[in-house]
Structure 1
Amino acid sequence: MKACTIGEVMTREVVDARRETPFKDVAQLLARHRISGLPVLDADDKVVGVISETDLIHRQAAQAERNQGRRFRLPALRRTARRVTAKARATTAEQLMSTPAITVHPEQRVADAARVMERHHIERLPVVDEEDRLIGIATRRDLLRVFLRADDEIRQEIIDEVLTRAMCLPPHTVIVSVHDGVATLEGRVEQRSDIPLVVHLTWKVDGVVGVMSSLTFRIDDTHPSEKHPSPRVAHYWLPER
């Protein structure tokens, strides 16, 4: 079953900075290109860090405090406070950037990248090759393209890739409908153990945000001792991922 990858949705033209790029130049790059962050590269085009608007704001806020005469007693500072103090004095991208950079590879699935963004509370992911060289960038907006698929397109992929190719079910065994990304499955499969598998594979289709199942089964293969089972129904509702 085909899943959309980072390489298919990423932006290939990337605005970046070098270690030695001055602070003001970084701010100008963000403003000129109307972006909220950018990767920092070394001489081999490898990603060594990321700068966001938040990094710039923290730097300016810390600088303002220093200008007001607030003095830090360095020996008493904790690690976080020392890092803030260092950023207040930052004059280059290397001093300002957050490191290590969280990156992804082009063959990774869009859904996996979305989970990484959510886990780390970040807005963008530099995309790197096998040597960690920058080849693109994936933003939240890039990933959202996957979930803008039409319901009819999602429905057809469930029928073709899940029911026909993966499960080898005869036509019309399972009736699929999709509304606003929520897939509804109705019909009867041969074995009870097939139902969670169909639901799981449906969830993996790009653009699916929910799955409702009212599938029935002919044979309860979870209880082999039953010789003459009657049709049963197994209800599944999987909340949004």
Structure 2
Amino acid sequence: MKHLRAIEDVMTHAVISVDRGTAFKDIVEALRMWNVSALPVLGQDGQVVGVVSEADLLLGSQGPEEAHDTTAEQLMTRPAVTVMKDATIPTAARLMARRHLKRLPVVDGDGHLVGVVSRGDLLKVFLRPDEDIGAEIRELIMYQLVRHGSAEVHVHVANGIAYLNGSLPDPAMEDIVVRAAGTVPGVVDVKADFTTPVSA
């Protein structure tokens, strides 16, 4: 079973990019050919130095003559808004929502481009089979409860909703278990019904 926890798990690895000197017309052609709305701009070292979008092209278009001499470096938005490949899926979703972006370049620790993540990529986690989600929840919860041999947790997932029941040795553990289940990509809600010892 493949866990979907980080951006590198859902991003598109085959990425189209341009360099600083790419001409206006070539950028337009690349956007049209690959059916994307923006492209990362790379420096000589392969690091992302900016992003050029359809909006940048429209704003930078002054007419046929001027456009012919315009390059990606003149048009691009900088600094580029990027996300690390090991960032969590919710982190990227919040960043895209806050910046009103449809796509984000994904970079490694040195700032080199390794992929691109789109809104659609982030939504893929909600198409995961319930069986995969349930298996990941069980694995995660067992890790959380490894020191509590008396804990017994049953997991059932239907339409992305995780149903948890069983017995826990400490009432405070219910919140821990529910929170852990809620972090699993693809979970849309968690419903819990545990029995715990009654305090004297």
Common topology (TM > 0.5): yes
- 1:175 corresponds, among 154, 158, 164, to 154
Please, what is the CA RMSD of the aligned residues? 2.5
- Could you tell me which residue of structure 1 aligns to residue 10 of structure 2? 9
* DSSP-derived class of the 2:12 partner: coil
* DSSP-derived class of the 2:120 partner: helix
- Displacement of 1:26: 0.8
- Displacement of 1:23: 1.4
Please give the residue correspondences for 1:62-81 in structure 2 after superposition, counting only pairs within 5 Å: 63=62
Structure 1 CA distance, aligned partners of 2:55 and 2:191?
40
- 1:218 corresponds, among 192, 197, 200, to 197
| Same amino acid, percent of matched pairs | 41
Contact 2:17 2:40 in 1 (8 A): yes
Contact 2:4 2:10 in 1 (8 A): no
- 1:205 corresponds, among 184, 187, 199, to 184
Contact 1:4 1:146 in 2 (8 A): no
Structure 1 CA distance, aligned partners of 2:118 and 2:42?
18
Give TM-score scaled by structure 1 length: 0.71
Amino acid at match of 2:191: M
5+ long unaligned stretches in structure 1: 65-87, 220-225, 229-241
* 11 and 185 in structure 1: CA distance in 2 versus 1, 3 angstrom threshold: same
Amino acid at match of 1:166: Q
Structure 2 CA distance, aligned partners of 1:102 and 1:202?
30
Contact 1:199 1:211 in 2 (8 A): yes
Give TM-score scaled by structure 2 length: 0.84
Amino acid at match of 1:185: L
Contact 1:40 1:49 in 2 (8 A): yes
- Displacement of 1:108: 2.0
Structure 1 CA distance, aligned partners of 2:94 and 2:35?
25
* DSSP-derived class of the 1:161 partner: helix
Alignment of 1:32 onto 2:33: yes
Task: Show CA shifts across 1:169-189 (max 9, x none).
Answer: 669933322222121222331
- Displacement of 1:157: 1.7
Contact 2:39 2:51 in 1 (8 A): yes
- Could you tell me which residue of structure 1 aligns to residue 52 of structure 2? 51
Amino acid at match of 1:19: R
Please identify the structure whose Cα radius of gyration is greater: 1
Paired residues in the alignment total 194
Task: Show CA shifts across 1:163-209 (max 9, x none).
Answer: x2222366993332222212122233111110110011001112112
Alignment of 1:185 onto 2:186: no
